[in-house]
């Protein structure tokens, strides 16, 4: 059985690879786990270091900056609340929640201070933009 952390890390790596594949000019930083030594116990533990406590990846290209929380969790409430705790300059950066909903199906939300909009979905590796009503 794969741990939640391992599934989450695998999804983050997938998001990073997808971003680079679809925009080779971009640069992506993925925050990784760090090893911390506990001298009192004589062991190393793995700790997460999300950027600002809520961001897993940062993608930058010539025209945009995207701050991305990538998750395999099914509920959006806590993740959205965590993202809204940061005073983002929403006019300068895209704050996004990427959620793996099912195998080969990812929903992408753009997060604002007072709402979130679904940008679209990635199904089988292809981005499908949300149609306007």
Taking only the tens place, the pLDDT of each residue in 96-125 is 999 998 888 999 999 999 999 999 999 999
108 or 48, greater pLDDT: 108
Of 44, 59, 62, nearest in space to 108 by CA = 59
Instruction: Report the predicted TM-score, pTM, of the whole model to 2 decimal places.
Output: 0.85
What distance lies between CA 99 and its chain's CA centroid?
Answer: 8
DSSP label of 131 = P
Query: With 90 as the cut, is the pLDDT of residue 9 above it?
Result: no
CATH number of 4-129: 3.40.1350
Label residue 76 by pLDDT band (50, 70, 90).
confident
> Contact 12/30 with Cβ under 8 angstroms?
yes
Is residue 36's pLDDT more than 80? no
Q: How confident is the model at residue 133 (pLDDT cuts 50, 70, 90)?
A: low
**Residue 112 in 3-state DSSP?**
coil
pLDDT, position 16: 97
Q: How far apart, in Å, do the first and last CA atoms of the chain sit?
A: 42
How far apart are alpha carbons 50 and 21 in whole angstroms? Answer: 23
pLDDT value of residue 95: 97
Tell me the CA distances in angstroms from 60 to 45, 93, 102, 111, one per residue in order: 31, 10, 27, 17
């Amino acid at each position: 059985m794969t741990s939640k952390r391992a599934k989450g890390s695998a999804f983050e790596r997938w998001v990073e690879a997808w971003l680079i594949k679809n925009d080779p000019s971009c640069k992506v930083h993925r925050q990784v786990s760090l090893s911390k030594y506990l001298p009192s116990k004589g062991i190393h533990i793995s700790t997460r270091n999300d950027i600002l406590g809520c961001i897993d990846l940062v993608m930058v290209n010539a025209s945009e900056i995207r701050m991305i929380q990538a998750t395999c969790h099914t509920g959006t409430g806590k993740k959205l609340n965590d993202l809204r705790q940061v005073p983002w300059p929403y006019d300068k950066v895209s704050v996004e929640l990427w959620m793996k909903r099912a195998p080969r199906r990812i929903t992408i939300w753009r997060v604002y201070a007072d709402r979130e909009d679904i940008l679209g979905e990635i199904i089988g590796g292809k981005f499908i933009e949300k149609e306007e009503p």
